[in-house]
Structure 1
């Protein structure tokens, strides 16, 4: 004849670098006043197992069959929020501030927000056609000209101040148009 006992379970779990050690003990607790773990003769059964963990959302099944007991259990290992990778050591948290402009995919890779590039998505993508040599931007789709350059794509040099009838190939030049001369191309040579 089988006797029904109240039981309590003591479960100890230790996790280290991809493995978990699980120790489960079942103790007899015949009355509410008993402290089952005080007397070793109250132990119904115990087992210990080492499990290799794979990080993921999928549950794995475990089983222990002893002389007097069977235990079936399921387990899974998931990373804390913002941590990724096989050992949960890769950190990625979406941001949109001066330190980066990105979101994180399911593997913890940074995905730049529209208009940003670079390792931490902190480099803006300038206006299409903006001169890389003479222009720059501090926000996406801008084209700010460096000193001495002008135009929507920063491809036009600024002539020397006061240059009347001249052009430039480099900033601060004053190359006179045909028929004009002088330092500021303000002398009519046709007279």
Structure 2
């Protein structure tokens, strides 16, 4: 009998450790960029050259071969003077080729389109302040190209953002191209707070009986009380001295 109790106790401890480990290993949230539209009517690079260097015509316009546009999104710490090089300390995502000179993602503003959505997960307490660099590039099989030779446009946006469902719209215009996109920050499931660092996972088992509100605060289920909602509320009239219960609404 004693051995069975010891084994049961060890099993419960193991389950608790696995639960805590799973919560720690999950990322705490993600930064989302949803592309809405790109307008590059002339099909040019930031340098003024044509995306297709061999497609220029005598009148100075670019040929029919359009840019092969892909995006590089860099998220880093807030910088007063932004350095476009260096490490993307909060995360980096690079898309495949998703369009030509001018294109748009219909329904993106209403949240009904996943194409053009770029998600950067993070596994740290969100600092609120950030720098976002969204770059449009021309894909070229010429391996001799280097530096910013194939850069179409670069949008730099920085500030403060808190988690939420609402999206912020950013529109960057230049003499070369216009890029429009939305941004938002969201906590992962079971993570709460302005830094996505409050963990609350609803449960109804040996370790507690509670649900979580929008702020990540625990609320005991009906029939339970205590810090972890592990204490059953006994049947009304149950003696506080001689009565006890393991199941709500009972008394022994």
* TM-score band, normalised by shorter chain: 0.5 to 0.7
Within the alignment, does 1:13 sit opposite 2:75 as a pair? yes
The 1-side partners of 2:75 and 2:144 are apart by: 20
The 1-side partners of 2:69 and 2:180 are apart by: 16
In the other structure, the counterpart of 1:104 is: 212
1:27–1:36 CA contact under 8 A, matched in 2: no
In the other structure, the counterpart of 2:178 is: 70
RMSD: 2.3
- Structure 2: 5+ residue runs without aligned partners? 1-59, 77-89, 91-125
TM-score, normalised with respect to structure 1: 0.64
In the other structure, the counterpart of 1:24 is: 134
In the other structure, the counterpart of 2:20 is: none
- Structure 1: 5+ residue runs without aligned partners? 145-191
Local SS of the residue matching 1:129: coil
Local SS of the residue matching 1:78: strand
1:36–1:43 CA contact under 8 A, matched in 2: no
Higher strand share: 1
| Length, aligned pairs only | 142
In the other structure, the counterpart of 2:244 is: 136
Alignment CA distance shift 1:62-1:114 (3 Å): same
1:1-191, aligned counterparts within 5 Å?
2-3=61-62, 4-14=66-76, 15=90, 16-29=126-139, 31=140, 33-35=141-143, 38-144=146-252
Q: Once the 2 structures are TM-superposed, how far is the Cα of residue 37 of structure 1 from its aligned partner?
A: 6.1
Q: Once the 2 structures are TM-superposed, how far is the Cα of residue 18 of structure 1 from its aligned partner?
A: 1.4
Local SS of the residue matching 2:187: coil
The 2-side partners of 1:18 and 1:43 are apart by: 29
Say which is worse superposed, 111-120 or 4-13, in terms of deviation: 4-13
Alignment CA distance shift 1:35-1:70 (3 Å): farther
Instruction: Tell me which stretches of 4 or more aligned residues in structure 1 moved more than 6 Å.
Output: none
Local SS of the residue matching 2:238: coil
Q: Once the 2 structures are TM-superposed, how far is the Cα of residue 8 of structure 1 from its aligned partner?
A: 2.9
1:92–1:104 CA contact under 8 A, matched in 2: yes
